[in-house]
Amino acid sequence: MQLKENNDYDIIVVGGGVAGVSAALASARQGKKVLIIEKSYILGGLGTSGLVTVYLPLCDGMGHQVSFGIAEELLKLSIKDAYEDRYPTPWLKGGSREEKIKNRFLVQYNPHLFAIVSENLLEREGVDIIYGSFVTNTIVENDRIKYVVLENISGRYAYGCKNVIDASGDGVLAYKSCEDVVEFKQGNVLAAWYYSVSKEGYKLNILGAADIPEDEKTGNEEYLCDKRFKGLDAKEISLMVSLSHKVIYEDFKKKRALDHKFLPVNIAGIPQIRMTRGLKGEYLMSVSDDKKSFSDSVGLFSNWKKSGPVYELPFRALHGTKIKNLLACGRAMGAEDSMWDVTRVIPVCAVTGEACGVASALGDWDKISVSDIQKKLRENRVKLKVKEVI
């Protein structure tokens, strides 16, 4: 098949999950011509078609908001139109510190509305979106990605651009470009989250909890099966998906027996795999980075599992050591195994996405100055240092 060329864009973002949406938005707001390439036909990734609809906290659990900018904008967008009453009121109405400690700054939203309003937002900001397009490869020259290669219904294309952002969740771009990557060794537990309607209304059924440290287990965690899934083999992913469907079917039958109105209304359109592969950042974040000060900090985030920790995000966790025009955000950023459970969640995807979007608009990571990235982020009201929020 002949490769058709397109050179219309400054920045290409691969993947339209929360990280990709945030990155594209940030780059477009810096005046760049941006394209998001998405293999499915909906924005939001795991956060919409994966039915993972809990926007975890922007605060540290001690009453301080730590993530701002696009992370806060998207949280508010996610509940616009229908779920505004779910906004944790102490955060909206200037509640006391005690109230903010009791109610962390998180929401649950509707996946369908979030996908649509995200798309509207990107279109308003001038971002082009190409759906149904699977990135299969890159063409690298002189340590830079010259073309991103994709296939879709109209053929095979080589998209040229100045800078590229890997928001694929699986480090696809880094891997295809022979940048160093890290794989999640532990593997993922089976998850089978789905939406239902019943006498109680429209509801998210959460089956398959995230890994919880041994000392925090209550004995009520539901792991569904002992097998762990790495998520990097098509056959293994297919097995995991069909197992999750069986689990949903069993759960449906149990609940239907108690309520004749109970029906599943949505099952996930993409595999519910938490962690697979990411960029081997020049710096790999770890849990011991709590409150560590980094001179190249480009954002702040908290730990959804624990109250207290606040992490500065070093720019070096968003780029590797080889490919000069590639940055990675969201699940694909550079983090150690122990830290991925913290960095993979929705607010952190937005924080890392915004940082990548702003930095990519300035140029290759080895040429730009971190203080320029920081200046632009501060103009967007992003906080960068722990001492600014505590």
Ligand X SMILES: Cc1cc2nc3c(=O)[nH]c(=O)nc-3n(C[C@H](O)[C@H](O)[C@H](O)COP(=O)(O)OP(=O)(O)OC[C@H]3O[C@@H](n4cnc5c(N)ncnc54)[C@H](O)[C@@H]3O)c2cc1C
Please report, as ranges, the residues that interact with ligand X according to CB under 6 A. 14-20, 37-40, 45-47, 50, 52, 54-56, 134-135, 167-170, 172, 191, 193, 270, 272-274, 330-331, 344-346, 349
Q: What does the block give as tokens for 31?
A: 């005046």
Separation in Å, CA 151 to CA 40, 158, 365: 12, 9, 28
Q: Give the phi and the psi of residue 179 in degrees, each rounded to 5.
A: -75, 155
Closest CB 48 distance from ligand X, rounded Å: 8
* 20-36 CB burial, b ≥16 within 10 A, e <16: bbbbbbbbbbbebebbb
Which residues lie across from 33 on neighbouring strands? none
Closest CB 290 distance from ligand X, rounded Å: 19
CA 58, CA 254: separation in Å to the nearest integer?
A: 36
Q: Residue 73 or 385: which CB sits closer to ligand X?
A: 73
Q: Residue 20 or 88: which CB sits closer to ligand X?
A: 20
Closest CB 57 distance from ligand X, rounded Å: 9
Q: Residue 120 or 293: which CB sits closer to ligand X?
A: 120
Q: Residue 273 or 362: which CB sits closer to ligand X?
A: 273
Q: What does the block give as tokens for 98?
A: 């005690």
Q: Residue 137 or 293: which CB sits closer to ligand X?
A: 137
Closest CB 151 distance from ligand X, rounded Å: 9
Closest CB 236 distance from ligand X, rounded Å: 15
302 within 8 A of 104, measured Cβ to Cβ: no
- The one-letter code for the residue type at 118 is S
Nearest one of 383, 339, 287 to 67, comparing CA atoms:
383
Closest CB 163 distance from ligand X, rounded Å: 17
CA 113, CA 371: separation in Å to the nearest integer?
A: 37
Q: Residue 34 or 167: which CB sits closer to ligand X?
A: 167
Q: Give the phi and the psi of residue 76 in degrees, each rounded to 5.
A: -65, -40
